[in-house]
Amino acid sequence: MERRQLGETGVEVSRIILGCGNFGGIGSAPEFFGKGENEEEAFRIMDAAWELGITTFDTADAYGGGQSETMIGKWMAIRGIRPEISTKTFNPMGEGQDQGLARARITRQLESSLDRLGVDAVDLYLAHEFDPDVPVEETVSTFEGLIQLGLIKAYGVSNFDAEELGAALAIGKPATVQNSYSLLDRADDRVAQLCAERGISYTPYSPLAGGWLTGKYKRDEPAPEGSRMAMRPGPYEHLHRPETFTALERFAEIAKRRGVDSATLAIAWLFAQPWVTAVVVGPRRPKHLEPALGALGHPLSKAEADELAGLFE
């Protein structure tokens, strides 16, 4: 699989990044700890990803309350495989626990992540969110100090808006930005443009907008059991309107004419954006990796990508 460098760091990632946010939970939400993929299911997903050439795994200390990192660490130890590891910190590890990007907390959290992963260093360490209670200078200098110590190879930010990213860029240079971005979520255009201008990698997550771009949600039908809209509808509730379904129906027709499914075409659209370095996909089953792989073999021209973007404006 094609690989891309993260900014000017020398760290390379596979064009598809395996998102491990559902291992042991559903993201960082404590109320869903224990409700994601169990160890056996997570191992099957990691095995399938590695076999397909996906060599970069993305996680966070708070995913599943630490279970995601633990499962990855155990898989690496048993399989004798070392993927590039990207992990993150900011969110609390459980109800009532602390959060944030203070120097002491970042250092403590990285130590615990390294223990769970069973490694001496991670390839990429991300601020999972912006922390308004801690000076950006403190956070950036802490990350840069961790590079000097050899505990991380590069650092980046996640869920930062353009103003927050600008504050970080005034002091240092994150290697990458990992934000939500898709055909149905283009609020990040300004951040993406800033990344392109400053030579920063951009690795979007949620490329299928919580499943909306797969066609699984139907007009006037309840959300399928176990889907994002059934479990955590909040981030995507605004999409539940007639205009969205009309656009999705037209999108599905275009995908069919091209001989692919909607999910493949949606990820192909992301790969067609020149500022996208790699795409983070979070499969619940090994077969869910197929659209991302298919997208790499289905390149779109700028005109084709623009036509698809116009459906959802």
Q: Tell me whether residue 113 is in a domain.
A: yes
Percent pLDDT > 70 in the chain is: 99
Question: 55, 63, 60, 112: which is closest to 82 by C-alpha?
Answer: 55
Q: Tell me whether residue 306 is in a domain.
A: no
Mean pLDDT confidence for 199-227: 88
Q: Tell me whether residue 9 is in a domain.
A: yes
pLDDT at 142 over 80: yes
Give the pTM. Answer: 0.95
Question: 134, 122, 113, 120: which is closest to 65 by C-alpha?
Answer: 113
Mean pLDDT confidence for 187-200: 94
- The mean predicted confidence, pLDDT, of the chain is 95
Q: So what's the pLDDT on residue 192? A: 95
Q: Tell me whether residue 11 is in a domain.
A: yes
Confidence of residue 127 (pLDDT cuts 50, 70, 90): very high
59 and 86 Cβ atoms separated by less than 8 Å: yes
* Tokens, residue 111: 């130590």
Question: Nearest 5°: CA angle at 204, between 127 and 80?
Answer: 75
Q: Long-range contacts of range 248-256, CB-CB < 8 Å, 24 or more positions apart?
A: 248/212, 248/213, 248/215, 248/217, 250/311, 251/183, 251/213, 251/308, 251/311, 251/312, 252/215, 254/307, 254/308, 254/311
The domain of 123 spans 3-211+267-299
Question: 63, 4, 1: which is closest to 278 by C-alpha?
Answer: 4
User: Coil, strand or helix: which one is 186?
Assistant: coil
Question: 59, 51, 55, 46: which is closest to 13 by C-alpha?
Answer: 55
The predicted-structure confidence for 17-28, as pLDDT tens digits, reads as follows 999 999 999 999
Q: Tell me whether residue 238 is in a domain.
A: no
Mean pLDDT confidence for 50-56: 98
The structure tokens 């996906």 sit at 54
The residue type of 255 is A
Question: 232, 227, 207: which is closest to 217 by C-alpha?
Answer: 227
Confidence of residue 153 (pLDDT cuts 50, 70, 90): very high
Residue length, the chain?
A: 313
CB-CB neighbours of 74 under 10 Å: 16
**Cα 246 to Cα 241: distance, rounded to the nearest angstrom:** 9
Q: Tell me whether residue 295 is in a domain.
A: yes
**Cα 197 to Cα 121: distance, rounded to the nearest angstrom:** 30
Confidence of residue 206 (pLDDT cuts 50, 70, 90): very high
Mean pLDDT confidence for 267-278: 97
The predicted-structure confidence for 224-237, as pLDDT tens digits, reads as follows 777 777 776 777 78
Q: Tell me whether residue 88 is in a domain.
A: yes
* Tokens, residue 51: 């076999």
Q: State the DSSP code for 224.
A: P
Sign of CA dihedral 142, 147, 148, 150: positive
pLDDT at 222 over 80: no
What is the CATH number for 200?
A: 3.20.20.100
Residues known to be catalytic: 63
Q: Tell me whether residue 256 is in a domain.
A: no
Count of the separate structural domains present in the chain: 1
Provide the Cα torsion 281, 287, 293, 297; round to 10°.
-140
